[in-house]
Structure 1
Amino acid sequence: MTFPRWIAALTMTLAAAASQAYDFKTVGANPVILYDAPSTKGGKLFVVPRGAPLEVVLAYGEWLKVRDVSGELAWTEAKGLSAKRNVIVKMANLKVRANPDDSAAAVFTADKGVLLEVADSANGGWIKVRHRDGLVGYVKNSEVWGI
């Protein structure tokens, strides 16, 4: 392959990769192992608990390259993830509101690191969430990770 063709092929590959939208998945019923390579023969890096959101940055066959809440990149098997959406609270004492409005009453308070299920999206940068105890309310997209 000549140099100009190689550059053109590389450019097209990078453009295709850049156009891929990032997606979030949730760890399914069982914890998943994150590896340093797309193979069970790779080094085991972390175990991610069920329900945790992971950002999918690349798909390679049955393997996904994912980013966790701390920003670390690793590989996991696609079969261990679900399309269900959960988010992680990014700040201490987050007020989950009754309505998608800063002045709405707080339904409950969630601490940093708490998992919340995404119940629905709302307008203006808010999402409707559900706590595992059944409480439902609204948080801003910027206050959680996984959106």
Structure 2
Amino acid sequence: MRMARHVGRMVGMRRACAALALCVAATGGLAHAASYRSVGAEPAILYNAPTERARKVFIAPQGMPVEVILEQDGWSKIRDASTDLSWVESRLLVARRMVVVTADHAVMRMAPSDTAPVAGTAEKGVLFELAAPANAGWVKVRHADGSGGYLKAGDVWGD
């Protein structure tokens, strides 16, 4: 009885591996982990399909952080802070990491601690450059005006 369960699990695992291999092959090997990028120096038109003939769904402002889900033929399928999916020309995205405040009111601290002195506050929608990725629930950020500090990771999106 034990051996039958073990063999059944191995067959199931082989089937799962085969299914994954087929998915990767079907997408031309395009399967990869999602990554974050930002809209570059110019606003970017977001489409509902990977072609300029598709329906335009949004104009993304400069610096807007996006999560790249898939890249295909010069296009990137992205998710934004509101979890909407769309397509954008890959050339319009840059590696510079930005985050956007999603909390109604975020408190920026001088150090990654609730007891650290307050460096400033930010309202929902404010963009910051990501200076260091999330660590122990905090992200180090820098604003365009030169100010910086630490925000709670749960108060921003794009990290």
Q: TM-score, structure 2 length as denominator?
A: 0.81
Amino acid in structure 2 at the alignment position of 1:24: Y
SS for the counterpart of 1:59 is strand
Gaps of 5+ in 2: 1-15
Q: In structure 1, which of residues 77, 81, 100 is the aligned counterpart of residue 89 of structure 2?
A: 77
Q: Deviations over 1:27-82 (max 9, x none)?
A: 00000000111011111111000000011111112100001111110100000000
Whichever of the two has the greater Rg, that structure is 2
Aligned twin of 2:126: 114
Determine if the alignment matches structure 1 residue 48 to structure 2 residue 57. no
Aligned twin of 2:107: 95
Q: Distance in 2 between matches of 1:143 and 1:124?
A: 14
Bigger drift between 85-94 and 19-28 goes to 19-28
Amino acid in structure 2 at the alignment position of 1:12: A
Q: Distance in 1 between matches of 2:69 and 2:23?
A: 13
Q: Distance in 1 between matches of 2:36 and 2:52?
A: 22
| Superposed displacement of residue 8, structure 1 | 7.7
SS for the counterpart of 1:142 is helix
Q: Give the RMSD, CA atoms, in angstroms.
A: 2.2
Query: Structure 1 residues 67 and 13 mapped into 2: Cα distance closer, same or farther (>3 Å)?
Result: farther
Amino acid in structure 2 at the alignment position of 1:33: I
Q: Distance in 2 between matches of 1:8 and 1:99?
A: 45
Q: Distance in 2 between matches of 1:106 and 1:138?
A: 9
Q: Distance in 2 between matches of 1:59 and 1:39?
A: 13
Aligned twin of 2:10: none
| Superposed displacement of residue 15, structure 1 | 6.6
Determine if the alignment matches structure 1 residue 12 to structure 2 residue 21. yes
SS for the counterpart of 1:79 is helix
Q: In structure 1, which of residues 51, 58, 77 is the aligned counterpart of residue 70 of structure 2?
A: 58
Q: Distance in 1 between matches of 2:86 and 2:132?
A: 29
Q: In structure 1, which of residues 78, 83, 105 is the aligned counterpart of residue 117 of structure 2?
A: 105
Amino acid in structure 2 at the alignment position of 1:83: A
Aligned residues: 141
Q: Distance in 2 between matches of 1:92 and 1:45?
A: 25
Q: Distance in 1 between matches of 2:50 and 2:18?
A: 24
Q: Deviations over 1:70-124 (max 9, x none)?
A: 1110100000000000001111221100001111111000001110111123631
Q: Distance in 1 between matches of 2:68 and 2:114?
A: 31
2:134 and 2:153 in contact (8 A); partners too: no
